[in-house]
Chain A
């Protein structure tokens, strides 16, 4: 069971005003030496983190609960991209600042002997941990560094969950679920194209295996992440808000000089406070609404410190914004859905902008957000000037119906039939399994029909292909060997474990947007937050299937 606090608190601690822009993505070469410890920014960050955690302890007594306990601490590693990776002249603030993480580790190591650092970036975590310097932090504190995607999986049923009822987590998370290890979430303060913001409990997305992760990046992402709180939740949250990240994360984002550390014992409340500090209304954030609906917040939480607001540039899960049009003048969206969230198509011309927006929003968190991320990566790439004016028609959804005919709505408010779409100039990209009625429209003899629902990598690769020539996200060749070795290593570990009957991935069915559901449970099991459901031993055929489930693309894309 997680730690029970008599009282929850959120502490906002300002850091001294100074330039923290050195090494906020990668630790310097002299980490761990006297010269590193003497740096003014390092001293200031350490003092701020310590003060925040001390103030939190005074309010909640968290240190007494942690004393002598085993701990799992999870940073948030996405891409680790120094400025040389993109055409910008600053590092990309997507990953928990390793200087801040080191400061938290210093405090925790005074209380606990057994601290495990665990992360699954969804990419090549081994490489990114090395690039950022997390391997050196682990070494300094004698901690084990675990890459979640390489762990064998355990299965749980969450009967109270709305949609994420069957959940597969890495084996080491089982210790957290069963209360044998405390869990510290250490996210970065940043926006997110799928969920608005990505903070304390959204950080749990990184505990999923690749296949679970791709099944979550759909329109149900908010519900799914909130459902995960039935299984485990952070016992302590430390938000790195020294350099925040605004814009379309997990695409390349922009630094915000925020100078704040926020700590707390209830991650939903921490996220609520930080969301407000970033200039967004937590009452309108669907992720926080879903978590609140399930009762994971705490209305009696004490907020210590000034909740001063600095508006972040929001992530835009849309291809219809002014900014998107300015960046990609040749890219046009045609969207049509018949799902329950979509507006009904009444007329074939003259639909207003609100109607087109509502149609696009009918699958928020799915293909559109993944497209937005991919375009952001291409926008930041060195090859952007070569791709800027390419003409591309993006077709999303199964088509809105009127009089038995399928239509996709353009930004001009006009409804386009299949014949109209075929007649469009330039390359045509058809996104999502649901868009199969338009699959014949896709260019390259149908290759640019992106199958799957929420399969981010598949989508990113084909979108990039449709916008050739483009460079991958990490264009600094210096790191390519490390990325290549990391990807091979990850793939080898996963395949070996699957062959040994200890799979690291659940079976992946990308071709519908359904989520794993549970079988019928006994009456006494329906009233609990989770039930352990051990995966039965795998026979030969099942092992072969498990090896196939380690999909090449998901493991090699960076």
Chain B
């Protein structure tokens, strides 16, 4: 849910910036968003997306549009799905929680 709201927020920012550019002839919003997302894209966004298994053009489009709201959840999911041998041990907690053989 949080991610959907973040995407929505990003969309509102873009639309607001476009309105500012068209109506007030002031492109500051678009410039800031492009610079911020461009920097994120260059420094971490594309790298994270590629590591996650996404294609380069997709990474660029998503990162330029949504910035950290796109790449941060991917990074978090990768961290959550990186396991060690210990994660596959059957612990007493697991056995007590579920019906098991």
Contacts and interface: CB of A to CB of B under 8 A. Distances in A.
Answer yes or no: are A and B bound together in one complex: yes
A40 B98 CA distance: 21
Nearest to B74: A29
Chain A interface residue bracket vs B: 20 to 34
Contacts of B81: 22-23, 28-30
A259 B101 contact: yes
Interface string B2-24: 11110000000000000000000
B101 A480 contact: no
Contacts of A17: 90
Contacts, number: 71
Contact of B100 (A256, A476, A477): A256
Contact of A19 (B1, B53, B88): B88
Contact of A22 (B2, B74, B83): B83
Interface string A478-489: 101100000000
B32 interface: no
A503 interface: no
Contact of B98 (A28, A30, A254): A254
A285 to B, nearest CB: 20
B77 interface: yes
A216 to B, nearest CB: 30
A51 B53 CA distance: 31
B87 A19 contact: yes
Interface stretch (A121-129, A307-315, A341-349, A355-363): A307-315
Given A22-B81, A22-B83, A29-B52, A477 B3 contact: yes
Contacts of A405: none
Interface string A372-412: 00000000000000000000000000000000000000000
Interface string A242-262: 000010000000111111100
A354 interface: no
A119 interface: no
A57 to B, nearest CB: 26
Contact of A18 (B3, B78, B88): B88
A478 B87 contact: no
A259 B99 CA distance: 12
Nearest to A479: B4
B99 A246 contact: yes
A257 B87 contact: no
Contacts of B74: 29
B43 interface: no
A66 B99 CA distance: 36
B99 A310 contact: yes
Contacts of B52: 29
A478 B4 CA distance: 6
A41 interface: yes
Nearest to A89: B97
Interface of A: 17-23, 28-30, 32-33, 39-41, 90, 246, 254-260, 308, 310, 312-313, 476-478, 480-481
Given A17-B90, A19-B90, A478-B3, 14 more contacts: A18-B90, A19-B89, A23-B81, A29-B74, A30-B78, A39-B88, A41-B88, A255-B98, A255-B99, A258-B100, A476-B1, A477-B1, A477-B2, A478-B4
The 9 closest A-B pairs by CB, nearest first: A257-B100, A477-B1, A477-B4, A28-B81, A256-B99, A40-B88, A18-B88, A19-B88, A310-B101
